[in-house]
Amino acid sequence: MIRKQRKQVIFGIEGKYRTALRSWDVNTRNNPVVDPEAAKYVLDEMIAEAGVNMLYHTWASNVIVDGNVIKGVIVENKSGRMAILSKV
């Protein structure tokens, strides 16, 4: 029987995500349905590794604009309302 060689076509964040899920023995090859708890854990780990300060249960409620440039965003969560200013 001739086996076709597999060619990687998924790269970037999705590729890293699938690799991490497979390390937890979550089958992502033929089944797009993933255990939500495994997915939450893997994505949370990826966010932490990237150095992102994640704000859970937070909603964007307004933007801070100077002319045509967005300078930041107003967010609200259980801690109240705060502004997150952009660096770029």
65 and 44 fall within a common domain: no
Mark out the alpha helices in 1-88 (DSSP H runs). Answer: 12-23, 36-49
**How far is the CA of 24 from the CAs of 18, 37, 39, in angstroms?**
10, 11, 10
Beta strand residue intervals within 21-78, DSSP E:
59-66, 69-77
Is the residue at 63 inside a domain? Answer: yes
Is the residue at 7 inside a domain? Answer: no
Give pTM, 2 decimals: 0.57
% pLDDT > 70, the chain: 82
Residue 25: its pLDDT value, please?
Answer: 67
Residue-wise pLDDT for 10-50, tens only, equals: 678 777 877 777 776 665 565 666 778 888 888 898 899 89
What's the whole-number mean pLDDT along residues 59-66?
97
- Average pLDDT value for the chain: 84
Residue 27: its pLDDT value, please?
Answer: 59
Handedness of CA 17, 21, 27, 33 (dihedral sign): negative
Residue 39: its pLDDT value, please?
Answer: 82
Domain span at residue 20 reads 12-49
45 and 59 fall within a common domain: no
